[in-house]
Structure 1
Amino acid sequence: MENKMVTTLAELQIYNKQPHDLSKEDIIGKHLESLDKWEEFFSKYSKWMGFSVRKEDVRRDHENNLWQQNRLAGLFWADGISRRDYACFGDIMAFDSTYKKNSYNKPLLIFVGLNHHYRTIVFAVAFLYDETDETYTWVLEEFLECMKNKPPPVVVTDGDHAMAKAIQKVFLTSVHRLCAWNLQNNVTINAHHPVFKSKFNELLYQYCTEEDFEDTWNRIVSEFEFEDSRWATTTCNSRRSWAECFLRGHFFGGLRTTQRSESINSYLSHFLMSKLKLRDLVGQVDKAIQSIRHTKWEDEFISNHSTPQLPSNILRQYYE
Structure 2
Amino acid sequence: MLFSGVNHHNQTCVFATALVSCESQESYVWVLEQFLECMGGVAPKSVITDGDPAMRIAIQKIFPTAHHRLCAWHLLRNATSNICDPRFTQLFKHCMLADIEIDEFEVMWEAMVEECGVREVEWVQDLYRKKYSWATAYIRGRFFAGIRTTSRCESLHAKLGRFVESRYGVIEFVTNFQRCVDFLRDNEDEMEFRSCYGTPVLQTHFIELEKSGATRFTREMFWRYRESLNRCVRVRINACVEIEGGQTFTVQKYCKPGMT
Residue in 1 aligned with 2:193?
301
1:163 and 2:46 are equivalent in the alignment = no
Residue in 1 aligned with 2:65?
173
Residue in 1 aligned with 2:250?
none
1:198 and 2:198 are equivalent in the alignment = no
**What letter is aligned with 1:231?**
W
1:289 and 2:170 are equivalent in the alignment = no
1:127 and 2:30 are equivalent in the alignment = no
SS for the counterpart of 1:155 is: strand
Structure 2 distance, partners of 1:134, 1:116, is 33
Structure 2 distance, partners of 1:228, 1:280, is 52
Structure 2 distance, partners of 1:301, 1:216, is 47
Structure 2 distance, partners of 1:126, 1:233, is 35
SS for the counterpart of 1:148 is: coil
**What letter is aligned with 1:167?**
I
CA shift in 2, pair 1:311/1:185, >3 Å: farther
Structure 1 distance, partners of 2:104, 2:189, is 47
**What letter is aligned with 1:217?**
W
**What letter is aligned with 1:160?**
D
Residue from 209, 212, 218 that aligns with 2:101: 209
Aligned-residue offset at 1:275 = 1.2
Asked whether the 8 Å contact 2:28–2:55 carries over to 1, the reply is: yes
**What letter is aligned with 2:58?**
A
Unaligned runs of 5+ in 1: 1-108
Asked whether the 8 Å contact 2:71–2:148 carries over to 1, the reply is: yes
Q: Percent identity?
A: 39
Aligned-residue offset at 1:311 = 6.2
Structure 2 distance, partners of 1:192, 1:263, is 28
SS for the counterpart of 2:187 is: helix
1:250 and 2:169 are equivalent in the alignment = no
Asked whether the 8 Å contact 2:87–2:116 carries over to 1, the reply is: no
Structure 2 distance, partners of 1:110, 1:129, is 14
* Worse-matched range after superposition: 229-238 or 167-176: 229-238
SS for the counterpart of 2:51 is: coil
Spell out, residue by residue over 1:193-252, the C-alpha distance to the aligned partner (whole angstroms, 9 max, x if none).
Answer: 343223212221123333332332233223212133232122112111000111111111
Residue in 1 aligned with 2:5?
113
Aligned-residue offset at 1:278 = 1.1
Aligned-residue offset at 1:130 = 0.5
Computed over aligned residues only, the root mean square deviation of the Cα atoms, in angstroms, reads 2.2
Structure 2 distance, partners of 1:122, 1:198, is 33
Residue from 46, 54, 78 that aligns with 1:154: 46
Spell out, residue by residue over 1:53-107, the C-alpha distance to the aligned partner (whole angstroms, 9 max, x if none).
Answer: xxxxxxxxxxxxxxxxxxxxxxxxxxxxxxxxxxxxxxxxxxxxxxxxxxxxxxx
Structure 2 distance, partners of 1:118, 1:309, is 21
Spell out, residue by residue over 1:256-305, the C-alpha distance to the aligned partner (whole angstroms, 9 max, x if none).
Answer: 11111111111000111111111111111111100111101110111122
SS for the counterpart of 2:19 is: strand
Name which one, 1 or 2, has greater alpha-carbon Rg: 1
Runs of 4+ more than 4 Å apart? 314-320
SS for the counterpart of 1:177 is: strand
Structure 2 distance, partners of 1:233, 1:278, is 44
Residue in 2 aligned with 1:140?
32
**What letter is aligned with 1:229?**
V
Spell out, residue by residue over 1:107-159, the C-alpha distance to the aligned partner (whole angstroms, 9 max, x if none).
Answer: xx110111111111110001111011100000000001111111000001111
Spell out, residue by residue over 1:143-199, the C-alpha distance to the aligned partner (whole angstroms, 9 max, x if none).
Answer: 011111110000011111100000000001100001111112222333343432232
Structure 2 distance, partners of 1:300, 1:255, is 22
Residue in 2 aligned with 1:271?
163
**What letter is aligned with 2:123?**
W
Residue in 2 aligned with 1:183?
75
Residue-pair matches, total: 211
**What letter is aligned with 2:155?**
S
